[in-house]
Structure 1
Amino acid sequence: MILDHRTYTCRPGTIKKHLALYEKHGWPIQSQHLGKPIVYAATETGDVNAYVHIWVYENATDREAKRAALQADPAWVEYLKLSAEAGYLISQRNQILKPVPFFKA
């Protein structure tokens, strides 16, 4: 199993607008291709303009196949266009994590 941990930062004052846009146009298609993440949360303290989501994949091949299908979907391409036009996001940080041997989810 691998975990795809993503942190996005929005321009100050735009996180609610960005999440509303994502909920309407991104969430349905992304969850269709990737399944449900184990975490999708907005930051409560610290950088309150950020949110995090963590997706679970069987392995790198599973991740690559699911993300390729997502990127090829015209509805996802349209969401990315809408998101870029809105200009709410200012940064994205991705980490691939692998559970340590003693942790069993």
Structure 2
Amino acid sequence: MIVDIRTYKFQPGKMGAWLKLYEELAWPLQKKHLGECLGFYTTIEGELHQVVHIWRYQSQADREARRNAMAKEPGWAQFLAETAKLDGFLSMENKLARETPFFAAK
């Protein structure tokens, strides 16, 4: 198993609009195609104006197949276009991690 940990950092005042757009356009598609979301968070202390979401996959191949299927959805292209119009991202970071042997999911 691997997890995809994504962190998006926004300009102050832009995160709320993106979250609304995400909930309306992207969340249904990601739930349909990506499978298990382990968490979707906004920062409340430390470095603010960030969204962190974590997705579980069986393997890198599983992740790639799921993300490729989602990318073919017309609604995904619409979400990306609307996101670009917001001009709110400062940075996007993506990490892939795997479980340690002593903490394998049951």
Within the alignment, does 1:61 sit opposite 2:68 as a pair?
no
- Deviation (angstroms), 1:9: 0.5
In structure 1, what is the Cα distance between the partners aligned to 2:18 and 2:72?
A: 22
CA-to-aligned-CA distance 1:12-51 (integer Å, 9 cap, x gap): 1111111011111111111111123101000111121001
Amino acid at match of 1:28: P
| Matched-pair contact (CA < 8 Å) for 2:2–2:58 | yes
2:45 is matched with: 45
What TM-score do the two structures reach when normalised by structure 1? Answer: 0.95
- Deviation (angstroms), 1:104: 3.0
Name the SS of the counterpart of 2:8 in structure 1.
Answer: strand
How many residues align structurally? 105
What TM-score do the two structures reach when normalised by structure 2? Answer: 0.94
In structure 1, what is the Cα distance between the partners aligned to 2:12 and 2:27?
A: 22
Taking every aligned residue pair, what percent have the same amino acid on both sides? 39
Amino acid at match of 1:19: L
Q: CA RMSD in A?
A: 1.0
Question: Which structure 1 residue ranges, 5 or more long, are not aligned?
Answer: none
Question: Which structure 2 residue ranges, 5 or more long, are not aligned?
Answer: none
| Matched-pair contact (CA < 8 Å) for 2:5–2:54 | yes
